[in-house]
């Protein structure tokens, strides 16, 4: 078998490309710049999640207040004195 025929094989080229991509990927993951970018992105995602949870809690409380006010207006619940 001629070795130059292996270089023309599409599967062989994919195999070599996969090895090269894995090697570059490992080097990139160990890079401080990539690590800092990943940590920064994760921190931003966590902040967005926390802000969304706070907004949801506020909307939930507002909805509960509106529901209570509607029940009081309909006479289903007596209004408590605070």
Q: What is the pLDDT of residue 67?
A: 94
HSE (CB half, 13 Å, CA atoms) of 61?
Answer: 6
Distance, in Å, from the CA atom of 62 to the CA atom of 74, rounded to the nearest integer, reads 18
Tokens standing for 47? 């902040």
Place of tokens 């006010």: 69
DSSP state of 80: P
- The answer, yes or no, to whether residue 26 has pLDDT greater than 70, is yes
Across 3-26, average pLDDT: 82
Question: Alpha carbon 63 to chain centroid distance?
Answer: 28
Place of tokens 């207006």: 73
pTM score: 0.53
With bands split at pLDDT 50, 70 and 90, how would you rate the model's confidence at 77?
confident
């Amino acid at each position: 078998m001629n070795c130059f025929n292996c270089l023309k094989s599409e599967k062989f080229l994919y195999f070599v490309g996969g090895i090269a991509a894995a090697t570059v990927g490992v080097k990139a993951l160990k890079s401080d710049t990539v690590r800092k970018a990943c940590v920064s992105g994760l921190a931003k995602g966590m902040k967005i999640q926390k802000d969304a949870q706070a907004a949801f809690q506020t909307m939930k409380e507002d909805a509960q207040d509106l529901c209570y006010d509607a029940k009081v207006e309909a006479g289903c619940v007596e209004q408590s004195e605070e």
